[in-house]
Amino acid sequence: MGKLIYAANTSLDGYLEDETGAFEWSVPDEAVHAFWNEHERGIGTSLYGRRMYETMRVWEDDDWLTDEPAVVREYAGIWRDADKVVYSTTLDAVSTARTRIERTFDPEAVRRLKEESVTDLSVGGASLGAEAFRHGLVDECVLLLWPVTVGGGKPALPRGVRLDLELLDTRRFANGVVHVRHAVRRAI
C-alpha cells in the first residue's frame, strides 16, 4: 500500500505563493533540487489540480533543458516516469505522457489507488491538497520552509482543518531552507 504525501515549498509564514501568485522565492539551488529529485524518485503517481499540472508540465519538454544543470535534467526524467492524475472540470486534454484527467475528486477512488499502489503517491497544489487533508487521505506532509515571509497569498496548509502531526525528519540546507517531514496522525 502506498502512502499519500503532500509535499510543497512554503514561505516561513505558510504560503505557497504570494498575493500576486509569485513563488520565485522558492527556486531551488542544486542541493534543494537534489533533495526534491530524491523525494520524487519514490513517487509512482502524482495527483494534481489543473493549475499545478499546468505549472509542472514544462518538465515534459526537453527544449529548455539543454543548458540546465544535470540535477535539473534528472528531475525531468523522474517527473516523466511517474503517472499523473489531473483533477479538472475545465481541461479538455492533457499534453503529457502517463497522464489522465479525472473530472471530480473522489476520495474513495484515491483510497483504492493508495491500497493498490506499490509506490507512494503525491498530491500537489493547495486546493487539491486541502481536499485530500479534509478527507483524511494524506499520510505524510513534506514541507521545505524557505527563509522568507510573503505576508499573504495561497496557504500551504488547509484552513479550517486541524492536523495532529508526528515529526519524522528534519534537515537544514546551506541556503537556509529547512525540510520538515511529518506523519499525519489525524485530520479533524
pLDDT value at 188 more than 80: no
Pairing, β 83-87 against β 99-102: parallel
141 — pLDDT class (breaks 50, 70, 90): very high
CB 87, CB 106: distance < 8 Å: no
Amino acid at site 178:
V
Cell numbers 499502489 correspond to what residue? 117
Neighbours of 102 (CB within 10 A): 14
Express each pLDDT in 85-127 by its tens digit: 999 999 999 999 999 999 999 999 999 999 999 999 999 988 9
- Quote the CA–CA distance of 64 and 72 in Å, as a whole number: 11
CB 48, CB 86: distance < 8 Å: yes
Angle between helices 30-41 and 70-81 (to 10 degrees): 20
Q: Which residues pair with 155 in a beta bridge?
A: 15
Cβ-proximal residues to 114 (8 Å cutoff; 6+ apart), any chain: 1, 2, 3, 4, 121, 137
63 — pLDDT class (breaks 50, 70, 90): confident
Express each pLDDT in 25-59 by its tens digit: 999 999 999 999 999 999 999 999 999 999 999 89
CA distances from 158 to 15, 33, 113 (A): 11, 25, 22
Express each pLDDT in 19-28 by its tens digit: 999 999 999 9
pLDDT value at 154 more than 90: yes
pLDDT value at 65 more than 90: no
pLDDT above 70 coverage of the chain, percent: 99
Global pTM? Answer: 0.94
Q: Is 5 in a helix, a strand, or coil?
A: strand
Return the pLDDT at 72: 93
